[in-house]
Structure 1
Amino acid sequence: MLRALKERLSIQGHRTMAYPDGPVVLPERFRGYPALQRDLLCDLDGTACVAACPFGALSCSENGLVLDMGKCLFCADCPASSCVGFGNDHRLAVSRREELLVQTNGEQKLAQPLSPDLRKLFGRSLKFREVSAGGCNACEADSNVLTTIGWDLGRFGIQFVASPRHADGIWVTGPVSENMREALLKTWEAIPAPKIVVACGACAIAGGPFSGSPQISLGLDTLLPVDLYIPGCPPHPATILDGLLRLQGRLT
């Protein structure tokens, strides 16, 4: 056994990334925090961009364009690319639904820590019961990546558990179809209080590409009190981890 451990240390070394103590390495094609074209009023060009988005993520206001990250799928070939660009900032998670609205000259919002009493409970140990409420498995896959050796979510005391009785909160992916609504609510009821809710991905936040269908919810926050919104389709593991660490008060 000792020989095997020695070989593993000498050959494989330490595989877990340094983040959050060091920078996170993101791929060149990563699409992060969006940027709207400055000084573009909702004239002919602006309304054309609004109409171009098939998911209704863009709208007009008296101050110009507004992009709803809760509805945005961060398309690789954005049909409204003349108005919208994407940077490499992975910090997308927020605490309130309205903070997902990006305006031309608006301030970027970040997820806030839990209240002091909840942070005292969950700051060092936070367990989630994941519910895939009609999802395609993309958000589930990127959430699961965090449990691998490269990310090692467990080093922060955060884990996914098999039973809601062992959980501190519920982790929801998917658009909450009618067939999953009852299962979701029963899982929520089975988690002991106090408990928290995380909406992971565009589907859970606002229905994603299925928005408007009578077979899905209008958003998880119409059913449960959401504490953390993580946008994306799917969210990058770095985005998910950033939101969780801010929720615990580990990042400022």
Structure 2
Amino acid sequence: MLNTLKNRFEQGYRTCSYPKEKPAVFPRYRGRPIIQKDVSQEMVEMCADACPQDAIDIALKKIDMGRCVFCGTCERISNGAFVQFTGDFEIATSKKEDLLTNGDLPALAEHSKQHFKKLFGRSLQLRQVSAAGCNACEADLNVLATPFFDLARFGINFVASPRHSDGIVVTGPVSRNMKTALLTTYDAIPDPKVVIAVGSCTITGGPFLGSPEITEGLDTILPVDLFVPGCPPHPLTNLHALLTFFK
């Protein structure tokens, strides 16, 4: 006990102050993309040809964050003349179409369903399902339980049983072999329930887009309430999405 108290005194308070204060992220982090409005069509086409995810809409000069894996290729080859990735991690949306953006995103709090806030505002229990994920999105969800993020202080927890949960958090491209297990888990959650799609793979199929072995978008099989883009989404992106949409 004395050693525990000694360590606590030496280490001090380690939990981040978010959402009261917005912490700085690592300089190389790529968050919300900003499209340069005066970019030439030739430059847009060059970036679109190089994009491994086909995430650039040439006609609209926008980026689909649901497909984007934030590799930064378009920023590098255009030297920032087409797009610049900012350090803004607050990029979740309640509508999939809003992920196609030139940098502007609707205020998530204004688009959240108010009955969710009434139902789950003080306690939100979630069941996480990795539907053939690579473990990147899963790892950045798991880290929310560490003392630095301390998700439980907001009344949000991940639980072992879907019967004890208020919703489901899905990661991975939803492979053919995981689809039945996912749907069974969803059915086991009592109504009313929420569905959260985390990561590019879950939202659109990610790098596996076009494969017959995966589901190209969770919203094609389940009603999705919250989309959290990224590959993987930063833990603060997940935290912002949950706090803003439900609290």
Paired residue secondary structure (2:47): helix
Query: Alignment identity in percent?
Result: 51
Aligned counterparts of 2:5 and 2:42: Cα–Cα separation in 1: 67
Q: What are structure 2's unaligned runs of at least 5 residues?
A: none
- Identify the residue that residue 36 of structure 1 maps to in structure 2: 35
1:72 to 54, 65, 68: 68
- Report Cα offsets for 1:155-203 as digits up to 9, x if no partner: 0111110000000000000000000000000000000000000000000
Once the 2 structures are TM-superposed, how far is the Cα of residue 6 of structure 1 from its aligned partner? 3.5
Q: Is the 8 A contact 1:52 1:79 kept in 2?
A: no
Give 1:246's aligned amino acid: T
Q: Which moved more, 1:148-157 or 1:23-32?
A: 23-32
Q: Number of aligned residue pairs: give it.
A: 243
Q: State TM-score, norm by structure 2.
A: 0.93
State yes or no: 1:110 paired with 2:107: yes
SS of aligned partner of 1:67: strand
1:4 CA displacement: 4.5
Q: Give the deviation of 1:218 after TM superposition.
A: 1.5
Q: Kindly provide the CA deviation profile for residues 134-156 of structure 1, in whole angstroms up to 9, marking residues without a partner as x.
A: 11000000011111011000001
What is the 5 A alignment of 1:77-92?
A: 77-78=73-74, 81-82=77-78, 83-92=82-91
> Where do 1:100-249 residues align within 5 Å?
100-103=99-102, 107-112=104-109, 114-249=112-247
Q: Which has the larger share of helix? A: 2
Unaligned runs of 5+ in 1: none
TM-score, structure 1 normalization: 0.91
Q: What SS does structure 2 have at the residue aligned with 1:233?
A: coil
User: 2: CA distance between counterparts of 1:215 and 1:79?
Assistant: 31
Distance apart, 1:76 and its partner CA: 4.3
User: Over aligned residue pairs, what C-alpha RMSD do you find?
Assistant: 1.6
Write the deviation string for residues 14-53 of structure 1: whole angstroms up to 9, x where unpaired: 1111111122131111111101122225x33222221111
Quick check: 2:75–2:85 contact (8 Å CA) kept in 1? no
Once the two structures are TM-superposed, the CA of residue 122 in structure 1 deviates from its matched residue by 0.5
